[in-house]
Each structure stands twice: as C-alpha cells, then as structure tokens.
Amino acid sequence: MHSLANRKLILGSTSVYRRELLERLRLPFSVESPHVDETPQPGELPAALACRLALAKAEAVAARFPEAVVIGSDQVADLDGLALGKPGNHARAVQQLQQMAGRVVVFQTAIAVVCRATSFSQQALAPVKVTFRTLSATEIENYLRAEQPYDCAGSAKSEGLGIALLERIDNDDPTALIGLPLIRTAALLRAAGLDLLASPR
C-alpha cells in the first residue's frame, strides 16, 4: 500500500456536481479538465463506455501530473443498451425524457483512481436503476424550463426538481446518480493508500 500523505489529489473533471460531491470527503483537492474525446466506439455498451471514459479522464490528467492521485468519473444513461449522454440543448432533452418516460433507465456511473508515480490504477462501476414516471409533454416542458439540465446525462437532476419525474431509485451508492459514487470513491482512495478517517477533519 502506498502512502498518499504528500501527494496532491486532483479531480479530473470540470463538473460542478462532482466537485461539490468530492468536497463532502473534506480532502484538499484541485480540479483539472481531462480534455477527453467522449465519442462512443462502434457497438460500445453504456457501462463499457462509462468505464472507458472514467479511466481515460483519470489517465489524461495523471499524464500531466504523474505525482498526483487523480480521480476520473463518467456517467452514461443506459436505456436498454442505448447510451444517452448529456443532451446539450432543449430539443434533445425533450427527446431524451420522452424516450425515458415510463421506462427503467440504468445510470452507469464509473469511477477511476490513478497515480502514475505508484503505478496505482483501479476503477469501479456504480449502476443506478431509475424508474421514470409516465410524463406528459407539459410536465417535460415545465421541468426543462425550470431546471435546464442540459449538462446532465439523461436530462434530469435527481437532487433537484428532477426527483418529481421519478417513481423509484435503486442503488447501493447514494451519490452515484448525481455523478460521483462516494462510497466507491472512498474505497478506491483507501486502496490507493489514503485513509479518509486517519485524522480529524
């Protein structure tokens, strides 16, 4: 096991949601953009896409900061094997919510921790099964106008008004749906040698 006591911790993501979640662990960290092409490969399933991109993001930042411990994460909405990413605009968000209404969607949230200096590299997947209500066109339009979740995979923020779109959430890592599974993140950091509770915070 390698000590991370003197190593910089970096979140390889520009997501404000992931930054806010990581702050809950009360660890000093910085944020770097990974600059990774997120285009799916031909025939790539959503879970495989999320895992590949999480690792690619961590490795991209670790290449620039080899002494640091880097966290990478990615989330892909999985609708019966069809990958739904960030909509980017209103029209695509409407389309996504129409597709997901009344259906079960698995939000595949992947996490990777990499430290080049210690040759540490591990990742984990935290799938979250979400059951959407049957939604009217008016409900979809009113929700999107209120929250504008165009930077969220699946076009909904469960931590906000988006919870009103849902019937059920099933998961074993409560923050995974928001974008960073903290139980698995803490486990990977422990595996890398960082004990989050070694001293008072």
Which parts of 101-162 fold into alpha helices (H)? 137-147
Is 74 among the catalytic positions? yes
What is the bridge-based pairing of β-strands 166-170 and 120-132? antiparallel
Q: Using CA atoms, how far apart are residues 92 and 189, in angstroms rounded to an integer? A: 36
The one-letter code for the residue type at 34 is P
Q: Which residues contact 8 (CB under 8 A, 6 or more apart)?
A: 29, 30, 65, 67, 68, 69
User: Which residue among the candidates 74, 151, 170, 173 is catalytic per the annotation?
Assistant: 74
Q: Where in the sequence numbering do the catalytic residues fall?
A: 74
